[in-house]
A and B are shown apart, each in its own frame.
Chain A
């Protein structure tokens, strides 16, 4: 863009750009009716929308329970929002996900491999990176949240319809990173281990040290060829 264009654009900011009829225009009767009706509809719609969004972000209350279907109808799926940023308390736990695989050699012998630090790989990509990718910062982390929220931690049974989907998602994320085979042997099964460590409180707080990190091990899941669909290209 040329210098003149730049100057013009700046100049425009200071002058009146609109040459549309001023607000003092005298409208005909039909025009007044159209504008009046539209104004009422727009203001009503805006108030309704903002009311719904307010009830959606506010704590559950008597009003939002009463009009739950209406509020959800307006807000979901596109206006869903969650602004409890670091609230009510910031997250105080570091969750790291590891995976290990069992492979089968061409001769038929199976072998269980060492744990692979999937979160550790994410962190390696984030360290020293001014703009971490969603692939490293969100993909695995949020997939674990999704799994955690849809499973019973005691027996790893899915608690809802989305549980199976969460398992599939988590498995595919790991398989994409590990590949089809390890040391030339095809992957038969995969298992996850998740370690949750509470952040040490600040030294000046005088709080007792948190309990030891908790380790949660998931059962072995079979790996089939179709689990790789589209993953490795």
Chain B
């Protein structure tokens, strides 16, 4: 047991190529070479790539972050949903389909025009975001998340800003991660199942069939969409241009693997085919985490390097200008105050460029990386308030979270659960580990 790791962040200084911090649990989990082939750094790298879910806490935080961002966004825009993406959109379906015909972006909304279908998709989007946030049936909910995010955003591509853009990308990447290994209802269910606690209500027995039912329902739905005329050319097997892949291979592939996974888990849970599937899923996860990490690096590197060329960033007045744009000043007085003096404007302008340009290189040094990460998260918090872009900022913070150290995440989780436990009923925990805090007043 390495419970202490929650209190004392272990010095997991070792970084993956892209700077994703190592698992806290690396100790007991570290590859124990048994086979004669596993030797040397290359062997260890291969073993880690195939056998270890790298950055599982970071994956969970990214999942929770983006589920939360999109859920909050959809609820905030609920009163405006029909104008933004629905039957009242100024970009009528005819106009939207002319654009879609050009670029072939994926959306299910034109399948059936009209309000009912739109309302179904929008509310499904809310549920999918909630399920992703809670980590409920993540293998399914991340796919529904992908479908609904793309469907809504591609309905009117002129609506989005950088925040929507990063949600769009992460919705795709998350499908390939094992993002429910920790801090999720999936992990909780797996643990209950393993420890043989079938629960007072026989929850695991019931839960077992939920998965099968979901699989059958979604398979049927997919088949109807695939073979129905209404879906047009959105579910093709091949693409028109390189890399010649349509959406059908992804959806049917995921569905098939899920079925195979379940069958093997029932028939031969300890057999090699199941272990191979498991290793494959881990490999896909590790690649997806690499993609997410590189994506975040590219975001900051691009933002930084292009700024270097800008005259306003060079003369140190850049910050002043966004603070005087009408569309991005919900609090004009506050913005004017922040942009009123030479020195702070200069320091923040130069600091922003330095931090963004430096960020990719700081991944080589854990401590500097963490400092920069904190600075960037603070800056995004400032942007959220000053420029009136809370969704954009929250999305960027969620993306940054992929680089947070595991120790910090565990510490946060422990704190969060202590507060949660205190609020929900410290009394029931009694002298439990998490009841020892300042919330233990309840008898």
Which residues of chain A have a CB within 8 Å of any CB of chain B? 1-28, 31, 34-35, 38-39, 42-43, 45-46, 49-50, 53-54, 57-58, 69-70, 72-74, 76-92, 94, 96, 119, 122-123, 126-135, 137-139, 141-143, 145-146, 161-162, 165, 168-169, 172-173, 176, 199-202, 204-205, 229-233
B49 near A83 with CB under 8 A, answer no
Cross-chain pairs A/B with CB under 8 angstroms, 16 sampled: A2-B428, A3-B428, A8-B191, A13-B6, A25-B35, A31-B276, A35-B280, A73-B243, A78-B105, A79-B172, A88-B310, A90-B312, A126-B326, A132-B330, A169-B91, A176-B83
Most chain B Cβ neighbours within 10 Å, of A13, A28, A86, A128: A13
User: Contacts A9-B188, A87-B310 known; A57 to B324 CB distance under 8 Å?
Assistant: no
Verify if B417 is at the interface (C-beta below 8 Å from A).
Answer: yes
A82 near B165 with CB under 8 A, answer yes
Verify if B432 is at the interface (C-beta below 8 Å from A).
Answer: yes
CB distance from A196 to the nearest CB of B (A): 12
Complex Cα spacing A169 to B63, Å: 35
Of B99, B321, B421, which one neighbours A92 at CB under 8 angstroms? B321
CB distance from A115 to the nearest CB of B (A): 17
Complex Cα spacing A87 to B49, Å: 37
A138 near B88 with CB under 8 A, answer no
Of A38, A53, A143, A229, which one neighbours B280 at CB under 8 angstroms? A38
A91 near B83 with CB under 8 A, answer no
Complex Cα spacing A127 to B326, Å: 9
The main secondary structure of chain B at its interface with chain A is helix
CB distance from A87 to the nearest CB of B (A): 4
Q: Specify which chain A residues have a CB less than 8 angstroms from the CB of B258 in the assembled complex.
A: none
B51 near A10 with CB under 8 A, answer no
B390 near A130 with CB under 8 A, answer yes
Verify if B232 is at the interface (C-beta below 8 Å from A).
Answer: no
Complex Cα spacing A19 to B318, Å: 53
Q: Specify which chain A residues have a CB less than 8 angstroms from the CB of B188 in the assembled complex.
A: 5, 8-9, 12
B424 near A6 with CB under 8 A, answer yes
A9 near B417 with CB under 8 A, answer yes
Verify if B249 is at the interface (C-beta below 8 Å from A).
Answer: no
User: Contacts A87-B306, A89-B312 known; A169 to B95 CB distance under 8 Å?
Assistant: yes
13 further interface pairs, Cβ-Cβ under 8 Å (given A24-B47, A34-B280, A132-B388)? A13-B410, A17-B190, A50-B294, A54-B298, A58-B302, A73-B239, A73-B243, A77-B103, A94-B326, A131-B390, A133-B80, A199-B324, A205-B315
